[in-house]
A and B are shown apart, each in its own frame.
Chain A
C-alpha cells in the first residue's frame, strides 16, 4: 500500500514518538532566540545551539557510520555546514528538524564521496571496538543491539537507523536516499531480519 504524509497511523512506533516529541515552549523559544542571534553572526549563540543538540546529532552519526572517528568528522562537518547555511534557515520547520535532516544528507553524501577509499567489510574486531565506543558514549545502551546494527551492510544500516531508531517515514527515507519506496521497504524489512538473526546468534 502507498503511504500518505498525513497518515497518522504510521507514526506509532517508539522511534516516531521520540522524533516528534514536543519541544517545551520555553525550550523552543530559547532555541529560536539562539538561532536568531546565531543568524546575526553570534558565534557564542551557535555554540549554545551546538551544546543543545550535539548529543543527538552524534548518536545519529555514530549509528549511521558505525565508526566513532568517522562520526566525529561528520558531526564537525554538519555543524560547520549548519553555520554556513544558517542564513537560509527560514523557520519553516523546527531548527532541530532542519539540523538533523542536514546531517542525514551529509552522511549520505559522505558515503558516496568516500566510499571508494574505504574498506567495505566490518570485521569482528571493528564491531568489538565499536561496541566499546557505543557503550562509552551511550551508557546503558544495548551493546548487542548496537553491534547488530553496526554489522549490517551500510545501506541496510542507514535505512534501518533512519526508520526504526530515528523514526523517519518510509517515503521520507525514499526521498532522502533516492530509491523507490518499495525498495526502501524491502531493505528495511531485510535489515530487521538481519538484526534479529544477529541477536539470536
Chain B
C-alpha cells in the first residue's frame, strides 16, 4: 500500500474491527513502516494496559449499612415492571462549571458575533466537514447509502463531522469556566435539542436510507450543531 495508515484505521486494527483481507494488507505495511508500526504498538500497549487493570475495588463498609437503611426506610421494591436498564439514546450534556473568577454572560447574538474569532480555529476540520473540500477517508451519508448525486451534495462527511464535533467540544470544555452558568445552561439546552433532532433523523434514515429529504435534514441539523459549537468555542477562546 502507498502512504501511511490513518490513525483511525490503526485504532480499528487494534480493536479488531478491520476485515480479515484488509488486516493482512495493513499488517504487511506495519512490517515495513516503522512510523505506522510505532503508532500501532503504542496504541496497542495503551489499550492492553487499560484492559489489564483490576476490575474489583474494596468499597467502604459503610456503603452497605447506608443501603440497608434506605431499604428499611421505605425504598421498597418496585415490581411495577419498569423497563430493565437498557435505556436508549440519550444526550450527554455539557457540564456547567462552578462559579469561577472569570465568567461572561453572553446573549445568543453576542455568541454569534464572537464566532468570527474562531475562523482560524479548527478551520480545516470544520471547513472539510461543511463540504469545503474532500476529507480523506470520509464517507458521506449519501455515498454510504448509494444515493443519488443531489443527496451527495448536501450530506456531510461523517468522519469530518465527528472530528469537528469532538475538537470543538474539547475547546468548549477546556474554556467553559469563562461562561456563566446561565449561558452554559442555554448552550446545553440548545445542543440537547439539536442532538435529539439528529438522533430522530438518523433513526428515520435507517428505515428510509434513500430519502433525500432526510439526508438534507440530517446535514442541516449537523450544520446547526457545528454552528452552535463554533460560536461557543469562539466565546471561550482566550483573547490575545
Contacts and interface: CB of A to CB of B under 8 A. Distances in A.
Interface of A: 1, 3, 7, 9-18, 39, 41, 43, 46-47, 50-51, 54-56, 58-60, 62-63, 72, 75-76, 79-80, 83-90, 92-93, 98, 101-102, 105, 108, 111-112, 115-121, 134, 136-138, 140-142, 145-146, 149, 153-155, 160, 164-167, 170, 175-180, 182-183, 185-190, 192, 195-196, 199
A83 B31 CA distance: 54
B68 A120 contact: no
A14 B202 contact: no
B97 A120 contact: yes
Contacts, number: 227
Interface string B149-165: 00000000011011101
Contact of A137 (B15, B49, B59, B90): B59
17 contacts: A10-B17, A15-B51, A43-B68, A47-B64, A59-B54, A59-B57, A75-B59, A83-B77, A88-B79, A88-B82, A116-B185, A137-B58, A145-B49, A175-B88, A178-B90, A185-B8, A186-B162
Size class of the B contact interface (CB-based, 8 Å): 35 or more
- Residue in A50, A138, A164 whose Cβ sees the most chain B Cβ within 10 Å: A164
B162 A85 contact: no
- Residue in B56, B83, B161 whose Cβ sees the most chain A Cβ within 10 Å: B56
A3 to B, nearest CB: 7
B136 to A, nearest CB: 15
Given A76-B67, A178-B91, A192-B11, A83 B75 contact: yes
Complex A-B, nearest 3 residue pairs according to Cβ-Cβ distance, in ascending order: A87-B79, A14-B51, A115-B95
B52 A14 contact: yes
- Residue in B8, B97, B166, B173 whose Cβ sees the most chain A Cβ within 10 Å: B166
A72 B215 CA distance: 45
Given A75-B63, A166-B55, 6 more contacts: A15-B51, A92-B84, A155-B173, A160-B50, A180-B202, A195-B46
A192 B58 contact: no
A192 B49 CA distance: 11
Contact of B55 (A51, A92, A105, A165): A165
Nearest to B76: A84
Given A43-B71, A90-B84, A165 B53 contact: yes
Contacts of B83: 88
Nearest to B96: A116
